[in-house]
Copies of this chain bind each other. A is one copy, B any other.
Amino acid sequence: MDASRTINAKKSKAAPAAIAGKPPARNARAKLIEAAIATVRYKGFSATSVDEICVAAGVTKGAFFHHFASKEALAVAAAGAWTDIAEQRIFTLPDWVRIADPLDRLMGHIEFRLSMLDGPAEDFTCFVGTMVQEAYNSSDPIRAACDASITAYARRLAEDIQTAIDQYGIGHDVRALDLAYHVQAVLQGAFILAKAKGNPEIARDSVAHLKRYVLMLFGKEGERL
């Protein structure tokens, strides 16, 4: 391979972009998904045009329809990407995920979600929650993709909740997955209130209620609030 590289030294300029100081040379597909998520969170799915996404991503319309059969297909792909992004940002990277005590870890989760409620709404709101609100009747593929993302989050959170229930018990007829979905509901609703007010404070208040509820369920109110 050394021989071929010396001979073709002139033409091997494009390939080692990752090695050189050039930007990571992310492919157009990834850039389109990222741009779509940002734009849809800002102004909604229907109000976002394909051209707009292309400009935000820095690619042409030709590239868009090379990678995605339709705007709908991009939405489905972006919902899938959002699942991975959320898993990373919420369940993998933060420090609290390594808390040993399951109830402390659960409260760490809620506390983390609360701490995210700051700055412009388009920076903390849920991409799939925004999208499914518009598309649930118009596109079943999009609806299903958003549902899958929400379900993945709930199932992941339910693991921690179940562990906490197993260890501490819960004096009520509460199932872990149900409570996980309730956490989701409070967050999604809090996002809407924050958007309406133009201020995330009201959203934080609502999550504070959620915090108290969970602590009460585990009979720990006053101890950790």
A residues sitting closer than 8 Å to B (CB atoms) are 42-47, 121-122, 128-130, 132-138, 143, 146-147, 150, 172, 174, 178-179, 181-182, 184-193, 195-198, 202-203, 205-206, 209, 212-213, 216, 221
Nearest residue (CB) in B for A185 is B189
Q: Nearest Cβ in chain B — how far from A126, in angstroms?
A: 8
- A44-B44, A130-B133, A143-B196 given; name 13 further pairs at CB < 8 Å: A46-B46, A47-B134, A132-B192, A133-B192, A136-B195, A143-B195, A147-B197, A150-B196, A185-B189, A185-B206, A186-B189, A188-B193, A189-B192
Contact A185 B178 (CB under 8 A): no
Contact B195 A189 (CB under 8 A): no
Contact A137/B43 with A143-B196, A189-B190, A196-B150 known, Cβ cut-off 8 Å = yes
Contact A42/B133 with A185-B190, A193-B188 known, Cβ cut-off 8 Å = no
Q: In the complex, which of the residues A46, A191, A196, A206 has the most CB atoms of chain B within 10 Å of its own CB atom?
A: A196
Contact A209 B213 (CB under 8 A): yes
Describe A's contact surface by its main secondary structure.
helix
For the complex of A and B, 10 pairs with smallest distance between CB atoms: A189-B189, A185-B189, A46-B46, A44-B134, A188-B189, A136-B195, A46-B47, A185-B206, A147-B196, A182-B209
B132, B134, B192, B212: the one contacting A188 at CB < 8 Å is B192
In whole angstroms, how far apart are the Cα atoms of A134 and B195 in the complex?
A: 9
Q: Nearest Cβ in chain B — how far from A1, in angstroms?
A: 29
Q: Report B-chain residues with C-beta under 8 Å of the C-beta of A196.
A: 128-129, 132, 136, 143, 146-147, 150
Q: Report B-chain residues with C-beta under 8 Å of the C-beta of A193.
A: 150, 181, 184-185, 188
Nearest residue (CB) in B for A179 is B209
In whole angstroms, how far apart are the Cα atoms of A198 and B148 in the complex?
A: 12
